[in-house]
Amino acid sequence: MQTEHLKCLSALAEHRTLARAAQALAVDVAALHEAVAAAQACYGGGLVETASAMDEILFTARGQAVLAIARQSQGELDGLHRDLAVFRQNKAVAPLVDRRSVSPRRLGLPGPDAETLPLMLAAALRAPDHGRLRPWRVIEFPRESREMLAVLFEQEKLRRDPLTSPQDLARARAHALRPPVLLGFVVSPVMRSPVPVQEQWLCAGAALGNVLNAAHQLDFGAIVLSGDRCFDPILSAQLGVSGDETLAGFVSIGTVVGQPAAACAVSPASAMSRWTGLAPAAASPEEQGDCAACRGLGIACRHRCRV
């Protein structure tokens, strides 16, 4: 059954006259009349007839049967459209919903190359940024600098724990050497700005999220690791992080060579609450009154008046 036939017959059944049905379909009466004639020709004629006294459309027995099929088909078509809309919505957000952090142990070569990495930073630059301050920056650690970085990680570990084991020192070195691509993410708030520092931190966090999402979209795995070394002032200074900046973490990016365990399902409802207005406040006897302003807000009067 053609979609146009479905619409015409359903409109006629609902509105009962050609004029009202045509208005509902946003077509002229002549066009609707032609569509009804085409539908009757398609289904053997005799679907509708006109009661001349009121110009009312009446469905014949054959027409009632065809109308029932039309309504069933329309319902199935509406359901298909709903399913398609849900599918499109799910497909649109799937890269965000499916993303998860991947341990450096599960990352291998290749990592993002010199052409791909700027795409990730371009995504980061599209994060919400009040005042266009770009209160963050990225440090790239190329492969030729990793051995020196591993030494600095070892030194930081020994400062924190002079009795650390050789195994822990080896793990500290691996944090510098293992990732195919390693970035340092630095939050750089603009201190003399009308934009509050907390908003600048939100901007930096959104930019970091965009880096991770872009990596996922480009079929890489990624993770941000921070830990105690990010709070070591000596290491921060060695990496060029100034006193007003914060070394937020190290971003490891590479090809996923070992699938991580499935993420725990979390209900979106657990992250949302609903504000339904101010709760009525209890007032002391001397404060009770009844003014129009407070009554409109649904709270106890604080004005000690009876207006």
Q: What is the CATH number of the domain that holds 202?
A: 3.40.109.10
Q: Are residues 59 and 128 in the same domain?
A: no
**Structural domain for 214, as ranges:** 104-256
Residues 191 and 214 occupy one common structural domain? yes
Residue (of 199, 180, 202, 198) closest to 251 by Cα position: 180
Same domain, 63 and 164: no
pTM of the predicted structure, to 2 decimals: 0.69
Q: Same domain, yes or no, for 52 and 137?
A: no
Q: What pLDDT score was predicted for residue 136?
A: 98
Which residue, among 80, 110, 94, 97, has the nearest Cα to 179 in the 3D structure? 110
In the structure encoding, which two tokens stand for residue 121, read together? 């930073």
Separation of alpha carbons 278 and 281, rounded Å? 8
Query: Among 69, 95, 121, where does a domain finish?
Result: 95
Domain C-terminal end among 256, 280, 300:
256
Q: What is the total count of domains within the chain?
A: 2
Tell me, what's the pLDDT at 112? 97
Could you tell me if residue 216 is inside a domain? yes
User: Which pLDDT tens digits describe the chain residue by residue (307 residues)?
Assistant: 566 777 788 888 888 888 888 888 888 888 888 888 888 788 777 788 877 655 788 888 888 888 787 777 777 777 777 877 777 888 888 888 889 999 999 999 999 999 999 999 999 999 999 999 999 999 999 999 999 999 999 999 999 999 999 999 999 999 999 999 999 999 999 999 999 999 999 999 999 999 999 999 999 999 999 999 999 999 999 999 999 999 999 999 999 999 888 888 889 999 999 999 988 876 555 555 566 666 666 666 655 554 4
Does any domain span residue 306? Answer: no
Look-up of token digits 């459209």 = 81
Q: Are residues 140 and 13 in the same domain?
A: no
Rounded-to-integer distance, Cα 266 and Cα 90, Å: 16
d(C-alpha 208, C-alpha 225), whole Å: 12
Residues 120, 187, single domain; the answer is yes
In a domain, 261, yes or no: no
Does 173 share its domain with 63?
no
| Same domain? 62 vs 204 | no
